Amino acid sequence: MNLTIENILLVGSVLLFVSILAGKTSYKFGVPTLVLFLIIGMAAGTNGFGIEFDNPRTAQFIGIVSLNFILFSGGLDTSWRSIKPVLGQGIMLSTVGVLMTAVSVGVFVWWITDFTIYEGLLLGAIVSSTDAAAVFSILRSKSLALKYKLRSTLELESGSNDPMAYVLTIAFLGLVTNPDLGYFDLFILFISQMVIGGTLGLSFGWLSKVAINKINLGFEGLYPVLVIALMFITFSFTDLIGGNGFLAVYLCAVYLGNQDLIHKRTILKLYDGLAWLMQIVLFLTLGLLVNPVDIIPLIGLGIAIALFLIFVSRPIGVLFSLVPFKMKMRRRWYISWVGLRGAVPIVFATYPLIAGIDKANTIFNIVFFISVTSVLIQGTTLSKVADWLKVALPEKVKPRSPLDYFLDEPPKTSMIEVNIPEGNSVIGRKILDIGFPKNAIIAMLRRKGNYLTPNGQTEIEAGDQLLILAENDNSIRSVYKSLLLPEPDLSDD
């Protein structure tokens, strides 16, 4: 069956429906959801139900779009408070760790195959990063509660190491196609990708915050659409001028996720759903692109490389990059074990296909096999290994969505009523702009006898009566300070 305009919606919607149902029941049988999405795609492909799909460029485009949503959603969900203590560890893992993994796998492939050293390093670069979609979905689906801020470290690493793997993939692909390419040129490529990507990511984050809060769209449903537009502008403009678009998108989202935004709940809820949709679409597409018959002759080689990556290369990268940090060995081993490979390496493996190098199909099929093996071996054992290494908390926590993180605040225990007098400097300003403390909320606003439910866009007027829920006395003092009112006497009678 060839995909046409007439049947693509029917076929796509049926595959999506089947994937959702499969994902709902997958963990009852211990099979990661993402693997089922791949299997469903493969079953629907040429050697299954006969859907013909053999277009690496289309698959790559779908992959890039999907990764934008997945990385942006992960960034929005990243709390600065949670990653700040592990920022150094995350940066080392996502740079030095990725480089060490790529080089060790590359040398191993060169040693056991007829690959040239550059072809081996290219394959190593493609599989060098942990997969954000796999890590985010498996950690949250399994509701893993980990000690020592390990979860923050793992999610920071998986969300931030794709840019490094992308740069290495492009660099080694350049060496394969042009062996005379200078190492200095590759160094300049790396620096420009990271510096431009990081700078523009934070810059677009700030500009996006201003645009979201200052542009009055009138309809709540348009704000998530605005954020989608800003996300793609961030990626495409950064990529256009030679920066790393994936890094820019992730940093832009991290910045936005830690700011006060109009209709933030709506934005977070939409991106949570879109991230799941894009994961399903991405894995289905890559499953369709793979021809299972081509993988069978490479099973032995694929197993050898996968086992080397899991048990040798990944530990080398983790242990070496974490040398500067004080950390017990069992924590380092667990970080090493959560080196899940998923869709990202398969997307990066389409670059050699499009470049048309000699071993492109072999590399693609090996990478696909490695990704599936990684998710099956590591993804199904995360809980058991966490218990074995004693890094799991005694009680499991509820699966958390981005909205859960946004609402993850201590309960408000104090209630006060505040009147806004004539002449107060906050009159005419939006609640979003007055620096209202995050550990307090305005539950109700009484204005001229009417009761309103305020939001960030609500402008304060003279005579307003604000019913405020606060966490403690310090929160109350912060409320009065933000409203430019004299600090109240909170001493007990």
Q: What is the pLDDT of residue 178?
A: 85
- The domain boundary, picked from 381, 403, 425, lies at 403
Q: Are 339 and 243 in the same domain?
A: yes
Q: What is the pLDDT of residue 407?
A: 41
Best mean pLDDT range from 41-45, 210-214, 373-377: 210-214
Q: What is the pLDDT of residue 425?
A: 85
Does residue 115 belong to any structural domain of this protein?
Answer: yes
pLDDT in tens, 409-466: 444 457 788 888 888 888 888 887 887 787 788 888 888 888 887 877 788 888 888 8
Question: At 234, is the pLDDT very low, low, confident or very high (cuts 50, 70, 90)?
Answer: very high
The answer to whether residues 189 and 171 touch, using CB atoms and an 8 Å cutoff, is yes
Q: What is the pLDDT of residue 379?
A: 77
Q: What is the pLDDT of residue 104?
A: 95
pLDDT in tens, 172-183: 998 998 887 777
Q: How far is CA 232 from CA 73, 87, 196, 200, in A?
A: 13, 26, 16, 13
Question: At 184, is the pLDDT very low, low, confident or very high (cuts 50, 70, 90)?
Answer: confident
Say yes or no to pLDDT of 353 above 50. Answer: yes
Best mean pLDDT range from 33-42, 129-138, 428-437: 428-437
Please give the share of the chain, as a percent, with pLDDT higher than 70: 85
Q: Are 303 and 271 in the same domain?
A: yes
Say yes or no to pLDDT of 143 above 60. Answer: no
Q: Are 475 and 368 in the same domain?
A: no
Better-predicted residue by pLDDT, 374 or 308: 308
Average of per-residue pLDDT across 96-106: 94
User: What are 216's strand-pairing partners?
Assistant: none
Q: What is the CATH number of the domain that holds 452?
A: 3.30.70.1450
- The domain boundary, picked from 403, 434, 458, lies at 403
Judging by beta carbons within 10 Å of its beta carbon (0-12, 13-18, 19+), is residue 58 exposed, middle or buried? middle
Question: At 162, is the pLDDT very low, low, confident or very high (cuts 50, 70, 90)?
Answer: confident
The domain total for the chain is 2
Structural domain including 54 reads: 8-403
Does residue 342 belong to any structural domain of this protein?
Answer: yes
- The domain boundary, picked from 387, 403, 419, lies at 403
Better-predicted residue by pLDDT, 487 or 2: 487
Better-predicted residue by pLDDT, 171 or 140: 171
Average of per-residue pLDDT across 39-51: 69
Q: Are 375 and 445 in the same domain?
A: no
Say yes or no to pLDDT of 81 above 90. Answer: no
Question: At 132, is the pLDDT very low, low, confident or very high (cuts 50, 70, 90)?
Answer: low
Q: What is the CATH number of the domain that holds 106?
A: 1.20.1530.20
Look at residues 130, 27, 58 and name the one whose alpha carbon lies nearest to residue 284. 58
* Assigned token pair, 427: 């009159």
Question: At 125, is the pLDDT very low, low, confident or very high (cuts 50, 70, 90)?
Answer: very high
pLDDT mean across residues, the chain = 82
The answer to whether residues 355 and 177 touch, using CB atoms and an 8 Å cutoff, is yes
Q: Are 377 and 414 in the same domain?
A: no
Average of per-residue pLDDT across 319-332: 89
Q: Are 112 and 246 in the same domain?
A: yes
Best mean pLDDT range from 128-132, 250-254, 267-271, 380-384: 250-254
Q: Which of 13-22, 44-53, 117-126, 387-396 has the lowest mean pLDDT?
A: 44-53
Average of per-residue pLDDT across 263-285: 83
Does residue 491 belong to any structural domain of this protein?
Answer: no
| % helix, strand, coil for the chain, step of 5 | 65, 5, 30
Q: Are 161 and 292 in the same domain?
A: yes
Please name the helix (run of DSSP H) or strand (run of DSSP E) that holds residue 466, with its range, or none. strand 465-470
